[in-house]
Amino acid sequence: MAIVNQDITLGEFKSKKRRIMGVGGPDDDQDWNSWPPWLKPLLRERFFGQCKAHPDSHKSECNMYCLDCMNGSLCSLCLSHHRDHHSIQIRRSSYHDVIRVSEIQNVLDITGVQTYIINSARVVFLNERPQPRPGKGVTNTCGVCERSLLDTFRFCSLGCKTVGTSKNFVMKKRQISSMAASESEDSYSGNSNSNSGISGHGQRQHKSINTHNSNKKKVQSFTPTTPPLKRRKGIPHRAPMGGLMIEY
């Protein structure tokens, strides 16, 4: 049994998660065993380019995909070689690839993936759409890319569902959650100890001040009070007749 090193930081995990979704699904081939074989190349295919086989045709835009052949994007003229095959059409919304629910739900389980109504048709996105931060008041986000979702959905796209349900992703997400909880506990414990130290120091300082004031009062209570000083009289003068002798 191979031993996988699972030591990973929160920042590395988010960065790797972005790289995974950038190529359309998980990297580990074992995570694709529960999915149709055409899903992985579909999510990683580039559409709406010019067909190399029909460059001069006005219908040379490659927006079709054959689920049986899985040989890349096709234009409408290329479909003549796939008449009896199951093909689907890829559409665009805000520069992102989408597919109609009516075309994909019969061949793929899209439970938990949020759907959107575009041009009166319900669609799902193939891959994630980057979102800087969730909007205010958002209570539910995609389990992989954290895009804002309605409360009844778990993922924003088919690619996010393939990643979010893979064993490696679930295992790493649990590890990151436990690491975040541990860091939070350590931070709380450190703050508590710091506050306790400051409080103890404050109590000791307050106690020292009280003791000093008490001792000062005691010293003052045993010191005899000094009587008030009487104002000294001026220089005494003799009476004017005091120096005369009277004879009888």
Please list the rounded mean pLDDT of every run of 10 residues in the chain (248 residues). 42 46 58 88 94 88 94 91 92 94 95 94 93 80 90 93 85 62 59 55 55 50 50 62 50
Q: What is the pLDDT of residue 131?
A: 81
Q: What is the pLDDT of residue 223?
A: 44
**Residue 226 resides in a domain:** no
Nearest to 127 by CA among 160, 99, 151: 160
Number of domains in the chain: 2
Q: What is the pLDDT of residue 115?
A: 96
Task: Report the C-alpha dihedral over residues 110, 32, 177, 16, rounded to 10 degrees.
Answer: -110
**Residue 83 resides in a domain:** yes
Q: Are 124 and 161 contacting, i.e. CB atoms less than 8 angstroms apart?
A: no
Task: Give the domain extent around 95.
Answer: 21-29+90-132+139-189
C-alpha span between 144 and 218 (Å, rounded):
71
**Residue 43 resides in a domain:** no
Q: Are 101 and 117 contacting, i.e. CB atoms less than 8 angstroms apart?
A: no
Q: Are 64 and 51 contacting, i.e. CB atoms less than 8 angstroms apart?
A: no
Q: What is the pLDDT of residue 32?
A: 81
**Residue 73 resides in a domain:** yes
C-alpha span between 4 and 62 (Å, rounded):
40
Are 25 and 115 within one domain?
Answer: yes
